[in-house]
Structure 1
Amino acid sequence: WRTVATTQDLPEGGVRAFDTGTVVGFVRRTGGRVRATSGICTHQGCRLALDPAQQRLNCPCHRMAFSLAGEVVNYKIR
């Protein structure tokens, strides 16, 4: 286990990116629970980018988007 955020860093509804050197992801707090999601696209292995306005994770390699929980919400092949 590695600390990636403190409770002060992650208020309710907050999302924070992390990179431990071996694991890249996003940690979020909803409903009082803290959960983490991978920051790597499952299709091409590209690093995901947080879109705070849409509350989703976008893949810059092929326009795929994931929910903050890691589920596919948008997929368009170029």
Structure 2
Amino acid sequence: MRNIFKIIAVLILGAIGGALFQALILPCLINHPYFGNFSFIKSLKKEVIVNPVERIVIEENTALADAFE
């Protein structure tokens, strides 16, 4: 039973460490000129393009009323 708690504790600490690394240390590494030459850092520098999405909602009651007018 103690081994299970140890394994779970290690997994939780690893997840917290990974989140802190990604949030605090990785942005500093991306901006540092020495680490900018590594391939995995170069792939993180790429520009991300997000396309806008339009959503049209047609309600039955209003569409039917507009059709009769």
Greater fraction strand: 1
The two structures have a TM-score, normalised by structure 1, of 0.20
The two structures have a TM-score, normalised by structure 2, of 0.21
Greater fraction helix: 2
Question: Which of the two has higher C-alpha Rg?
Answer: 2
Larger relative CO (CA 8 A, sep 6+): 1 or 2? 1
